[in-house]
Structure 1
Amino acid sequence: MVVESIVFRSALLSDVPAIVALLADDALGNHREVLGEPLDSRYVDAFRAIEADANQRLVVVVDGSEVIGTLQLSFIPGIARTGMWRGQIEAVRIATHRRDSGLGQRVMEWAIEEFRAHHCGLVQLTTDKSRGDAHRFYERLGFVASHEGYKLAL
């Protein structure tokens, strides 16, 4: 019998190499991320900025001592919709060997509950247009593709 000991927790600086490896482990991420030792200082700077911002939370999903997932939660205040707070989910990744196990759904349900607990009235996310499997996954969870998004690289 396998006992699962999955824990969701705020990331530590020591988790960042594992997070970067998860981000790099797909067709899009392997062109965007920088793997190697020492850890690229831009990741350390980003981690410190996230850690210092009370409206940001970088999360790891661990099983024992292994980082098997990650996501970033942003709590966004707004004037629109009578001052409604929004929850933004970014950079969701599950370790390759743990995909198709229900873990992705568990991660998303956990994130949604975190936003509920912080009185957010809306949860939003973006996903690359080429990620058809991700689109179907989010739609199964009740997300609706209600807006068209745009990005401008600087």
Structure 2
Amino acid sequence: MEIVNARPEHFPQIYSLICELEEASLDRSKLEAVYLRNLADPGIHYLIALENGEAAGFASVHVQYLLHHGGKIAELQEIVVARERRGQGLGGRLFSEAEKTAAAAGCLQLEVCCNRKRTDSHRFYERQGMAASHFKFTEVLGGQEQT
């Protein structure tokens, strides 16, 4: 098992993992356009866990300067382990790589937002040492569906 920076050719496997995470079939062409755009952004880090060339997990870390923190903050936007690989410690390894990525980028903090319905994920983040200290509020704009 190796965790590496994702490349353009990893998109089909990452697409499948993101659909699994969201429990939905998502618009492949839209996701691919965003994926390729984000690969070119030095503030976005896509990590893929590969075993024998197959994707076992994925994480994305977005780094930005936040005024109210007075420095860089990393947000773990997505983290997913393939259904058949869950419960084997891979999520913890991906989380650890996300932490290392954030620290290497000079971030002060690692944050994650998580849907309320994902109670197993909440417990996972707490096991990683994270605290549930904030609320996230959302508003759907332009007639888009909220997930």
- TM-score calculated relative to the size of structure 2: 0.89
Residue 30 of structure 1 aligns to which amino acid in structure 2?
E
Partner of 1:129: 116
RMSD: 1.4
1:69 aligns with 2:57: yes
Task: Could you tell me which runs of 5 or more consecutive residues in structure 1 were left unpaired when the two chains were aligned.
Answer: 1-5, 35-39
Partner of 1:30: 23
Residue 14 of structure 1 aligns to which amino acid in structure 2?
E
Q: Within 2, Cα distance between the matches of 1:13 and 1:151?
A: 30
Q: Within 2, Cα distance between the matches of 1:122 and 1:23?
A: 24
1:16 aligns with 2:11: yes
1:60-116 CA-to-partner distances (Å, cap 9, x unmatched) read 1111211111111111112223x2210110111101111000111111011111111
- Are 1:88 and 1:124, in contact at CA under 8 Å, matched by a contact in 2? yes
1:31 partner SS = coil
Once the two structures are overlaid, the 10-residue window that deviates more, 11-20 or 67-76, is 11-20
Give the number of the structure whose alpha-carbon radius of gyration is greater: 1
Per-residue deviation at 1:122?
Answer: 0.6
2:98 partner SS = helix
Which residue, 54, 78, 83 being the options, matches 1:91?
78
> What are the within-5 Å matches in structure 2 for residues 93-132 of structure 1?
93-132=80-119
Task: Report the count of equivalent residues.
Answer: 141
Partner of 1:58: 46
Task: Could you tell me which runs of 5 or more consecutive residues in structure 2 were left unpaired when the two chains were aligned.
Answer: 142-147
Residue 148 of structure 1 aligns to which amino acid in structure 2?
F
Partner of 1:48: 36
Residue 31 of structure 1 aligns to which amino acid in structure 2?
A
Q: Within 1, Cα distance between the matches of 2:126 and 2:136?
A: 17
1:113-132 CA-to-partner distances (Å, cap 9, x unmatched) read 11111111110001110011
Partner of 1:7: 2
1:149 aligns with 2:131: no
Per-residue deviation at 1:59?
Answer: 1.8
- Are 1:86 and 1:120, in contact at CA under 8 Å, matched by a contact in 2? yes
- Are 1:13 and 1:44, in contact at CA under 8 Å, matched by a contact in 2? no
